[in-house]
A = this chain, B = another copy of it.
Amino acid sequence: MSHTYEYPRPAVTVDCVVFGLDDEDLKVLLIQRGVEPYAGRWALPGGFVRMEESLEDAARRELEEEAGLRTSHLEQLYTFGAPERDPRGRVITVAYFALVKLSAHHLQAATDAREAAWFSVWDTPKLAFDHAEVLATALQRLKGKVRYQPIGFELLPPKFTLSQLQRLYETVLERELDKRNFRKKILAMDLLEELDEVEQDVSHRAARLYRFDHKKYKQLEKAGFNFEL
């Protein structure tokens, strides 16, 4: 079945930059392409937008199909539409930006047999299309956003230690933070619930676990509170 239009139309895709946090490293999810163009190259997961689904739905569907994962945090990043960005013709891609708790996701085999894997964001293979640019844009956004919105928690397990949280910020922001100042500030916000539990299976003194209180944050947000690292 074919479709005919009076004027030529670009194809529209969505691509997703999915970040996850491994012990001490920020990862991005990539898919190995099976077909031309760029067969064999790694690329961001994505695909064509269907006529009846919203852009965000398309992004979620592609993530589910290509990597079997669901994410709580998904937001639109930027739309890339340079005329020559895809050798097959005019393809405009709406890029999305997602955060997942890496610990909770064992990557499923992609349904279409393409391989999916996590790579350190600081050391990715050469990417297909303009995906390196998309990734760079996403990293920049993450770096900017993490400081004034509490989205970092989406990368951690539900229960975490303050050291884990601090390492997260240090990794994303690419600079070291002072432990005492960091704790003072984050605890002063009163957004963390102190649990009566400590981490397990560590060969040294175990740290206390905390949980991010989403409800309290929503309340404070309404009251004009601004999260700021």
A positions within 8 Å CB-CB of B? 1-12, 48-49, 51-55, 76, 78-79, 81-83, 90, 92, 94
Contact = CB atoms under 8 A, between A and B. Distances in A.
Label chain A's interface by main secondary structure: loop
Contacts of A11: 5, 9
A10 to B, nearest CB: 5
A194 to B, nearest CB: 32
A7 B3 contact: yes
Nearest to A144: B148
A86 to B, nearest CB: 12
A54 B76 contact: no
Given A55-B79, A79-B94, A4 B6 contact: no
Identical copies of this chain, number: 2
A10 B79 CA distance: 15
Contacts of A54: 81-83
Contact of A10 (B1, B4, B6, B51): B51
B12 A8 contact: no
Contacts of A51: 8, 10, 83, 90
A93 to B, nearest CB: 10
A3 B4 contact: yes
A12 B52 contact: no
A225 to B, nearest CB: 16
A82 B11 CA distance: 16
A5 to B, nearest CB: 5
Contacts of A92: 12, 49, 55, 94
Contacts of A10: 9, 12, 49, 51
A76 to B, nearest CB: 6
- What 9 A-B pairs come out closest when comparing CB atoms? A55-B81, A9-B9, A3-B8, A4-B4, A79-B79, A8-B51, A79-B94, A2-B4, A51-B90
